[in-house]
Structure formats: structure tokens, C-alpha cells
Structure 1
Amino acid sequence: MLAQEITHYIKKPQEGDNVVIKLDMAKAYDRVSWAFTCIAMRTMGFGEVFIDLVWRIMSNNWYSVIVNGSRHGFFHSTRGLKQGDPLSPVLFILGVEVLSRMLNLLHQDQNYKGFHMQIGGPQINHLCFADDVIIFTAATRSSLQLIMKTLSTYEVVSDQSINKENSHFMVPTNTPMETIDMSIPIHTMASISPPKTTLNYIKRVTTDFFWGWDKEKKKYHWASWETLSYPYEEGGIGVRKLEDICKALQIKQWWNFRTKNSLWSQFFRAKYCQRSNPIAKKWDTGQSLVWKYMMKNKTIIEPHITWRVHFGNILFWWDDWLGEGQFAQHDDTINNLNNIIVSYFLQNGHWNETLLRQEAPLHLIPKILNYKIHYQPGMLDEAVWKPTGSGDFSCATAWQICRQKKDSNNINSYIWHKHVPFKISFLVWRALRYKLPTNEKITTFGSSPVNCSCCRRPGKDDINHIFVNGDFAKYIWEWFSAPCGVYHKQTYIKDILYSWWGMENKNDVHKLILQAAPIIVCWNLWKNRCAAKYWSKQSSITRVKFLITKDIYLLINTAYSYIQWPTTWHEMIKIIELCKQDIRIWQISWEKPPQNILKLNTDGSALINPGKIGEGGILRDHKGELVYAFSILFGNGSNNQAETLAPSHGIEWCLQHGYKKILLEVDSELLVKWLQLTAKPP
């Protein structure tokens, strides 16, 4: 990303043009000089004992050459690192570090002019990643000569060799960046947001692969990729849209930019935010695509970022540390929007109320004064990602924020089980949506209607006939349903599946059977139908019963391999009924607090998470007698917010009424971890 951003302004006027050089190292690992590596380690301060150990590992290389199947010679190597050795990448990077420092020293030469960079930002003249090196410089004769001299010196001392044929350079008047033939093209280095045309192409190829080919011809796509790209519980097949993945990674870009002081974030700030805060900044024509996406998505991301104050180094106006949003955007009447940090308003770790009343928004001063600061001098303030309980950023939660959601449905979740192969569950998914190539469906493509091939009394070849209403299907369902205690007279596939999935289970094995058995039955009914239609194989109830029983046996034997399972259906059911439910009993009872101590029990919840939240609590003394109780409705929030607000309100009431010895009991494990500081609270 940083390389892409630097090259974005390659046409920036200077004394001569800018140039980007991409180096290719020939046989980089194989040419590493052992002596050079040891000298580099010694210069960097590594101990002699450690260097000797590394030398022994590197130099213990002997080779033979196999010619026509016979081994010849046994000779000692003099250079190179063993690829696959976990130590090799570290040793190689130590050697490249020498080149990096040599290139950095060029800034001290008055004849060297670097690539145009923003004044006040980091002056970068190269980037390295393993054996990939990109150099940024001005296209002046003196600068290029100094770089070539540096590279030649590095080749001599390290025994490395630059492959000039496979190295490339780019200047403003040269071929466009995206058409340069590189092993790692500059325009795609860290390209997290590919163009829509690229995403559409990848999606098209993926879709064609998913549905398959028939004699070099694409098969019909029974459902769009957009329909498939949802979680199981929302009616999809668990794949994610490329657009949503890219957007989640864009959110990660903004998080890293706002919360980390890395080289690329320093560069972006110097390039775009020297005169204004990133929160107030807007994208302008001519700025890079990466910055455009960051500006576009920041309004989505910022409400999910808050800050925990330790020393007060974050910005008072522009960082959301109170949980009320940025103060700069909270009140249009505020004129003095500067870069004052929070510690400006602190005095010995406490708020300076006089300063606050002079500059802070008046309606927020009471909340600011009530804000508890965990003052720790020298400890930087922390960014907290609200969607996770730990406060750490994750792409999974970012994806949940940016994606389009559908309502969850239990039937969508029941289709999928970790012990059932994907193709079997996917068949049921298609059957429930009438997206199978039945004769009824094929007639819409111009084919003549044909009756089913699986029953003695042929009927209409549609989904419900094949899976539910046909004579063949009815017999199979009755055979497997009766021993399980499932009785149904349904005429639709959805209803017959509901009758299995909605039945109360007796134990975990029974639960597995109720979920997976109807899926396996559907799979074998469809296989029987296709065998009769396309392979002229006569329908056989005996064969289908055997195949279903075999599949169920494999399923439960995989899930519960420690049980000796019979191979017949009715015997399986007898064993399943003998299985005992794994019941764990905990005695839960309220205990009175010690004398002179009050016990506060609280709870909170959201109607929909997130949604409208409420809280409640009860305060009792050592006799168990009621002291105080409350029940409060709030606005919108999450379960975690409700669980946190409830004890906060109860403790605040206790302190206001002079009760200081309080024992708090809650049922939120996450809240307990926050209070014990074993997890990072938001």
C-alpha cells in the first residue's frame, strides 16, 4: 500500500522527474555469503557464541550430484542458505538490512536528491520485503549514479547479484504502471481494493467453477452468487462476497491509520492531513484510490472506535474518548477546534474544571467530570474496537458491520452440519428453494414434460413428488420415521423436514439423528431418481434403504466412535434410546452477604442485539432484606452495554446514599473479565 501511495504522485514536479526502481535479486538465498552474514551480525551487536552457532548451522552443507540415477561426489558448499530452514529468513533479512542502511545513508550526500515526499513526513527512498526491493529516487544523473554505486558495493561485499534483465524501472513518461511486467507489480502491492471489473471477473470464474462444466460448456447457474453469499443461518452457503471482504479490509486500513504510528500512517498523515484532522478531511479529485476508500468508509467506522484515557495523549476534540462521538462534530457552534490533547485539561490525573468550563461543550461537562480516568503517566492512550469483547480489532467483526444482512431462520441452520458433507446439505438447500433440474423445471427451458421414473405409478416429476408425495418417497419416509417416533402427513418438503427438526430430542445422539437423517434421506431419494432417469437403473427400495442406513451409520460412527454401532436401522435406534443424556447439575442459590455488607445483583439485556436495552437490580443486606431495587429502560445498545450499565447505576446509587461496602454479583462472564482486567473493556 505504501509503495502504491508513493508512486501515485510520480509526476510531481521537481528538479528532474521521479523514478521507481524494482530490483530482482538473482538466486537470492543461494548466493548468501556466510562470512558476510557473520560480519553483519557482529556489527549489529550479536554475541560471539551465538554467531558461532549460526556459522556451524550455515556451513554444515554437503552435496552430491545425481547423474543418470547414480550419485557422484560429496563436496562442501561455500555459500547459500537452506530454504525451508526456519532460521534462513532471519539470516537473509539481516543481510538485506545492510543494503537498507546503505540506501538510507544516501540522504546525507549533498549530491543525492530523493523522490518527492511531503515536507514534514518520512523521507522514504526504498522499501524491502525479503528479496523484493523497491527504490524511490529523483531521476537526476547524480542520484542514479549514487544508487548504482551503492548497489555495486552491496553486490561485492555480500556476493549477491542483481538480475538486471528482470529488474524494472518506471518514470512518468513510460508505460502505465498497471501494464509493467513485474514479478510483483507495483500497482497491486497491497492492493486491498481491486477495481469492480476485477472483482466481477473473479466472481464470474468462481461461479462457473462452483456450478461446473459439461463438455466445455457452462452448466446452468441455479442461483446467483449474491444469493449464495450469506451465512448459513441467513439462507446462504457460508461464502462471503468479495466486495464485503474488500470493504472489511478497507475498515482495517482506517483502524491501522487511526490507531498505529507506522511508517505508512506517518506518510499518509504528512501527505493528506498536514493542515486538517483526518476526521474533518474530505477526498479531493486527484488523490489516491486508497485514500478515497478510507475517506468514504470513515463515517461507518468511527462510531465503532473509542479510546481509553491513560496519560491523555489523544486529541480532546477529534478522538471519541467519552463515548459521545467526536466533540468537534458534536456542536456546530464550537469555533476553537484545535489539536489540544486530553492531558491539557488534566491536573495530577484529575479534571481541571476551570479549563473545561472555558473551552469544552457546556452540555457535556457533567459527563466529562464523571468520566473515570485510569491515569498512568507515560502510558499511551488505547484505542478500543467496540464490536469485540476484548476491544481488539478483527476483520470478522468489520465484515459483520459492512455487509448486508438477512433475517435468520432456524431451518437454514439445520440444513448444515459439520458431519454431513457439503454436497448433501447443498442438495437440500436447493430442494427447499425449488432449484433442482426436475422435469417440471426443465419444461421452462423448452423441454417436453415427462413423468417421474422412480415410482410404479408415475406422477409429476417435481420437487414434492420426488421427495415427499411419490409412492417411493412415502415408503422410505415411513420406514425411517416410525422407529424415531416421527409421524407426518405433510405434502411439502419444508413441512416434512420441520417435523424432524422440531421434535424434542432425548439425548445428543438422538439430536444428531433428527437433524441429519432427513437430509441423508433426501440425498438418496434424489440419487435414486437420477439413476432411474439418466442411467436407466431400476428404482429399488431395498437398495435405497441400505444406502441411507449406511450413510447414517458412517455419520454416527464418526461422531460417536467410542460406541459399538450396529449396521441396521432398527438396531441403531435401540442403541440410541439407551444412550443417556449428559446432564450436568450445578446448585445455584443466592447467599446472604456478610454482616455490614450489602449485596447488589444486577442484570441487563437487549430486546434485539443490538436494540432497545433495559436493566434491573436488587440490593439486599446480610439478613436478605430488600434495601433498594430498580428497573430502567434505556435507548438502543448492545447486551454488553446493558450488562455494564446495570451495576454502574446500582453502585452509583449506593455511593450517593453512603453505602460503601458492596458485594457485586452479575451473570455476565465478559463483564467479570473486564472488571478483573483479564479482557480489554471498550
Structure 2
Amino acid sequence: MGAPLGISHNHIPIRAVLQKWWSVKPKNRVHKLLLHSIPVIICWEIWKSWNACRYGDRTSFSQYHMIKQCIWNIKAVINDSFPSIEINGNWINICDKIESLCPVIKCTTVYWKSPARGMIKLNTDGSSISTNGKAGIGGVVSNEQGDFIMGFSIPVNSSSNNHAKMEAASFGSNWCIQNGFTNIHIELDSLLITEMLIKKDTKNMKLKHMVKATSNTLRGANVIFTHSSNNGTSQAIPTCRRVYNVDTGDTCDNIIEFFNLKAEDFSSLNPNLNCDDLFLGEYLCLNGTLST
């Protein structure tokens, strides 16, 4: 079975045979799987045949049967790992096809979306190694022109990735408020943490106090939360052409009525707005478009 793959092993010890199979430089991921799995499958089929002869009703080894079973198992392994690849034909054709496979290169455009006029943008992330609690948090603060304002990268101790991501968002939020920034667009790659901060609460007791503390820190600031996925796309965010500063006695309903707005458009342009908790001077978007 090694000949179609360029592997010869006449009259050499089994250890050297295995070493030959596993030291061949693979041409692609499927070829690598093939080279690594075939020796194991062959040994398994030899062991099965030996037991069938010693303890079963067989009287001799059937090389044809063993090769047929090896090929069937190899096809099953490849189909399980790479279901999109069709493996048909005889052994030589299978080897030729696998060796000729080339990876398909997929490109995804990833870009940073600037915040609305007059706002800064805070992007944060965090990760943790669960086995030892070591973690790291980081983030970048930029203005609407994309100019760098501040960046941080800090080693911390954390119990989970979500804890590290929440800690990163909390640290970045505290820095923004302490340095006088009150119009903040916070973009996170964790949808779970984003939703916690929007709702200002969570049932996760390990994160609850951090969510509450971060929400209290941001109270009085004009904040937009968005989630950016790993492929570079983010949830729709408003680009405002006209804004309004909340005045004493204002409510969402009277603002919508006074400016003759549609309630659904007003909600879409102000995705994180809590109408029960408006504060004096809060920026509201009255006219704009949604973009990603």
C-alpha cells in the first residue's frame, strides 16, 4: 500500500517502516492524515486477522481481505475528517487524488469602523488559560479619524475567557471616564459580554459585580455598545446626521412626538438607549443611517 505514495519498505524492521510512513513530508492536510493513519489501520487489520485465525474459524491470512478492509477504513477516516472530499476508485487513484489536492484560499475583508462624530472608540479583548488561570487583557482607544489615543496590554489572573473579556472592557471603560471621555463607542468581540453590558446585569454570579461596577462607571456617559464578530463584521451601528441633547423633563415619547419621528427608527438609531434612565445632556440620534 505504500508504493503508490512513494514509500518502499522491503526487508526492514517494523519500527523503521512506521518511521518511514510518519516522516514523509505531507503535501496537504488530507495527505498528512493518510500518512499518519494508514500504519495504524494496517496494524489493526493484521491483529484482527491474527486473532481470527487463532481464536476464530479462519485457517489462513487473506491479504486481499485485509487490503480491502484497510482501504474501507481509510475512506471512512477521510470522509469523517473532510466530508466535502469524495474518495472513490481504486487505491492508486485514491492516492493520486489526495496527493494532488490543493488548499482553497478564502479571503475575508476585515476593517475597523470609525465611531460617530464627536465620539471615541474603545476596542477590547481578553483571553485566559483555564488550566493555570493566567490571562491577558488588551485594548485600543481611537478617535473618529482613527488616530491612536491609548492602548493597553496587561497580564492578569482570570478564571475564564469571559472573565478576561469583561475585565478588559471594565479597564478600558474606567480609563476613558477617568480621562474625561464621555462619548464612547465600545466594541467587543464577545456577544455575551456585549449583551451583559447593554442590559447592565447578568445571572452569572462571577461576572455580576464586574458588570454592575462597569455600568456604574459609565453612568452619565453617552455610550454605544456593539459586537464585532471574528470575521470582521459588526452589528449595525448608527451614523448620525442630527443629534439632540436630552434636556430636563425629556422622555423618549415626547422627543419622538416633538421631532415627528417613527418609534422604530428612533430605536434603531439609538440601540443601547434606556428610555427609563435618560440623563441630562445625553446624546440622542434623530436622523441617520445604519451601517456595518
Q: If the TM-score is normalised by the length of the shorter chain, which range does it land in?
A: 0.5 to 0.7
Instruction: Confirm whether residue 573 of structure 1 aligns to residue 90 of structure 2.
Output: no
Whole-angstrom CA distance in 1 between matches of 2:14 and 2:188: 47
Does the aligned pair in 2 maintain the 1:557–1:565 contact within 8 Å? Answer: no
Does the aligned pair in 1 maintain the 2:124–2:139 contact within 8 Å? Answer: yes
Does the aligned pair in 1 maintain the 2:21–2:36 contact within 8 Å? Answer: no
Q: CA deviation at 1:490?
A: 7.3
Q: 1:654 to 1:578 in 2, by over 3 A?
A: same
Whole-angstrom CA distance in 2 between matches of 1:648 and 1:637: 16
| Residue 529 (structure 1) aligns with | 50
Aligned residues: 197
Q: 1:491 aligns with which of 15, 19, 31?
A: 15
Whole-angstrom CA distance in 1 between matches of 2:22 and 2:112: 40
| Residue 538 (structure 1) aligns with | 60
Which runs of structure 2 are paired with 1:425-436 in the superposition (5 Å)? Answer: none
Q: 1:640 to 1:561 in 2, by over 3 A?
A: closer
Extract unaligned runs of 5+ from structure 1. 1-475
Q: Secondary structure at the match of 1:601?
A: strand
Normalized against structure 1, the TM-score is what?
Answer: 0.25
| Residue 169 (structure 2) aligns with | 647
Does the aligned pair in 2 maintain the 1:597–1:662 contact within 8 Å? Answer: yes
| Residue 563 (structure 1) aligns with | 86
Q: What whole-Å deviation, never above 9, does each CA across 1:519-556 have from its counterpart, x for those lacking one?
A: 42232121233244445633454442233123334555
| Residue 285 (structure 2) aligns with | none
Whole-angstrom CA distance in 1 between matches of 2:195 and 2:21: 40
Q: 1:681 to 1:615 in 2, by over 3 A?
A: farther
Normalized against structure 2, the TM-score is what?
Answer: 0.53
Equivalent residue letter for 1:598: I
Q: CA deviation at 1:614?
A: 2.3
Which runs of structure 2 are paired with 1:513-662 in the superposition (5 Å)? Answer: 513=34, 516-534=37-55, 537-553=59-75, 556=78, 560=83, 563=86, 565-566=88-89, 568-579=90-101, 581-609=103-131, 611-662=133-184
Whole-angstrom CA distance in 1 between matches of 2:91 and 2:111: 44
Equivalent residue letter for 1:619: V
| Residue 194 (structure 2) aligns with | 672
Q: Secondary structure at the match of 1:521?
A: helix
Q: 1:642 to 1:560 in 2, by over 3 A?
A: closer
Does the aligned pair in 1 maintain the 2:22–2:35 contact within 8 Å? Answer: no
Does the aligned pair in 2 maintain the 1:620–1:628 contact within 8 Å? Answer: yes
Q: CA deviation at 1:665?
A: 2.4
Which runs of structure 2 are paired with 1:237-386 in the superposition (5 Å)? Answer: none
Does the aligned pair in 1 maintain the 2:21–2:35 contact within 8 Å? Answer: no
Q: 1:652 to 1:658 in 2, by over 3 A?
A: same
Whole-angstrom CA distance in 2 between matches of 1:605 and 1:622: 27
Does the aligned pair in 2 maintain the 1:609–1:638 contact within 8 Å? Answer: no
Whole-angstrom CA distance in 1 between matches of 2:21 and 2:192: 35
Whole-angstrom CA distance in 2 between matches of 1:601 and 1:658: 18
Q: What whole-Å deviation, never above 9, does each CA across 1:382-419 have from its counterpart, x for those lacking one?
A: xxxxxxxxxxxxxxxxxxxxxxxxxxxxxxxxxxxxxx
Q: Secondary structure at the match of 2:15?
A: coil
> Structure 1 or 2: larger strand share?
2
Equivalent residue letter for 2:108: W
Q: CA deviation at 1:636?
A: 4.2
Q: 1:489 to 1:656 in 2, by over 3 A?
A: farther
Does the aligned pair in 1 maintain the 2:119–2:185 contact within 8 Å? Answer: yes
Q: 1:561 to 1:659 in 2, by over 3 A?
A: closer
Equivalent residue letter for 1:550: W
Q: 1:601 to 1:504 in 2, by over 3 A?
A: farther
Higher relative contact order structure (alpha carbons within 8 Å, sequence separation ≥ 6): 2
Q: Secondary structure at the match of 1:588?
A: coil
Q: What whole-Å deviation, never above 9, does each CA across 1:401-457 have from its counterpart, x for those lacking one?
A: xxxxxxxxxxxxxxxxxxxxxxxxxxxxxxxxxxxxxxxxxxxxxxxxxxxxxxxxx
Identity of aligned residues (%): 29
Does the aligned pair in 2 maintain the 1:613–1:634 contact within 8 Å? Answer: yes
Which runs of structure 2 are paired with 1:42-441 in the superposition (5 Å)? Answer: none
Whole-angstrom CA distance in 2 between matches of 1:628 and 1:606: 23
Q: Secondary structure at the match of 1:637?
A: coil
Does the aligned pair in 2 maintain the 1:601–1:619 contact within 8 Å? Answer: yes
Q: Secondary structure at the match of 2:182?
A: coil
Q: CA deviation at 1:648?
A: 0.8
Does the aligned pair in 2 maintain the 1:503–1:514 contact within 8 Å? Answer: no
Q: RMSD of the TM alignment (CA)?
A: 4.0
Q: 1:560 to 1:607 in 2, by over 3 A?
A: closer
| Residue 244 (structure 2) aligns with | none
Whole-angstrom CA distance in 2 between matches of 1:518 and 1:680: 52
Whole-angstrom CA distance in 1 between matches of 2:129 and 2:98: 38
Stretch moving more, 523-532 or 533-542: 533-542
Whole-angstrom CA distance in 2 between matches of 1:657 and 1:489: 71
Q: 1:663 to 1:579 in 2, by over 3 A?
A: same
Q: CA deviation at 1:644?
A: 0.7
Q: What whole-Å deviation, never above 9, does each CA across 1:481-520 have from its counterpart, x for those lacking one?
A: 547xxxx997289x759938x965725x546545654442
